[in-house]
Structure 1
Amino acid sequence: MSWLSNDDSTSKLKETLGFDPSSIQLPTSANSGISGLNISHPLYGLDKGIEYLDLDDEKLSTVQGSQGIIPSRGWSDDLCYGTGSVYLLGLGFGGAMGLIDGLSSINRNYSGKLKLNTILNSITKRGPHWGNNAGVLAMTYNLINSSLDSYRGKHDSMGSVVSGALTGAIFKSSKGVKPMVIASGLTAGAAGLWCGVKKQILE
């Protein structure tokens, strides 16, 4: 009756694994190695070596003074890094402001769900507003700054400050002359401050 138990164990093992273990083809000799494996085996073909996909890395930006905190290949990298990071900063700052406003506007008689809803509404109102405005400013600044760098053939603090001033003026161009001047001064000052911080970090 031992042959019955062997058949039962084999069938159970086959059902568990999903295939018949006895059908696996191993190398016929010790010298055959991996090359002797069946073509369906996961290790088949490894004796030929591993093929690598060689990609030539794009060169970093060669514009004079363009080396920043993060290695950049040109204006597209600056646009992505700058816009994304400034957007996230604006989103976080706006969310924090919304949290403060939401907490200050809660009535003691509100239920728990109503309090939570009030806070979330305030956060989602302020956060995206600040984030979108900051992202637009960063995108405009990077486009203007990259254009000036390409035209002048170098990147320096003066170009960044001028780009900041133009960005602020364009951003508030629909509000009148006075808001344009104020925004231009603020963004130029922010650009100058960033240049100073970057210079200290790099040096």
Structure 2
Amino acid sequence: MAQWGDGESYSDGVYGDNTYDSGAINSLSPYALDPSYLPKEPEYIFPIESRRRSLGDRILPVTGHCYLSGIAVGGAWGLYEGLSTLPVGESNRLKLNTVINCCTRRGPFLANNLAVLGLIYSTTNHILCRVTEQEDSMINSVAAGTLTGALYKSTAGLRPVLIASSLGACFVGSIAVGHYIYSNRHRFLRYNTA
């Protein structure tokens, strides 16, 4: 009787006269995947998809990162506030309750506000990319940050709108410049190591 994997046939005797070619079974094994079956480039249904991202592809990561950052920073802010305002001489349960109340007051507040900012930024950036037909342009990002700040504080008056739009432009501009420097770091390192 032959062993599996040596290319000979195997008869099991239990289920009758079934014969299996072990060489054919090994070639179809999921553990021995032939890389030539995998596509070399991304496959798209329509050719226009290869260069454009959808609105959902833009909104979900930005809004999620903003929300998680807000919950982390807001939770730390609430923890600091709760520990600094502990009631003296009270029981440990009351002290713990004070800290938890401060964390749950600040964390969701900051997380929701940052998620709304991320949602507005993603939408305005997507609209600007469609209007200008430039995908992931630094100018579109800074303009989207400016519009985000202006829309976020649009009900507060002209001065808060100007302050928020300039803060949005500076924040997104610094991120865009940092991303440009990081993505082209091999150029900067080559010139600075001489």
With structure 2 as the length reference, what TM-score do the two structures score? 0.71
Match of 1:62 in 2: 51
Q: 1:87 to 1:61 in 2, by over 3 A?
A: farther
- The partner residue of 2:100 within 107, 116, 120 is 120
Cα shift at 1:165: 0.9
Match of 1:8 in 2: none
Match of 1:68 in 2: none
Distance 2:98 2:178 in 1: 38
Which letter maps to 2:156? K
Which letter maps to 1:99? L
Match of 1:32 in 2: 19
Cα shift at 1:61: 5.1
Cα distance per residue 1:136-172 (max 9 Å; x no partner)? 0011011001100111011321111111111111111
The answer to whether the Cα contact below 8 Å between 1:27 and 1:33 also exists between their aligned partners in 2 is no
Distance 2:14 2:90 in 1: 73
The answer to whether the Cα contact below 8 Å between 1:90 and 1:134 also exists between their aligned partners in 2 is yes
Cα shift at 1:109: 1.0
RMSD over aligned Cα atoms: 3.1
With structure 1 as the length reference, what TM-score do the two structures score? 0.68
Distance 2:173 2:62 in 1: 15
Structure 2: tracts of 5 or more residues without a match: 1-12, 30-37, 185-194
Which letter maps to 2:164? A
- Report sequence identity in percent: 34
Cα shift at 1:90: 1.1
Q: 1:199 to 1:191 in 2, by over 3 A?
A: same
Distance 1:136 1:129 in 2: 11
Q: Which has the higher contact order (CA 8 A, sep 6+)?
A: 1
Which letter maps to 2:163? I
Aligned length: 159
Cα distance per residue 1:27-71 (max 9 Å; x no partner)? 224x5349xxxxxxxxxxx9xx79xxx9x85476515xxxxxxxx
Distance 1:76 1:196 in 2: 25
SS where residue 90 of structure 2 aligns? coil
Cα shift at 1:191: 0.7
Structure 1: tracts of 5 or more residues without a match: 1-24, 35-45, 64-72
Which letter maps to 1:83? T
Distance 2:50 2:176 in 1: 18
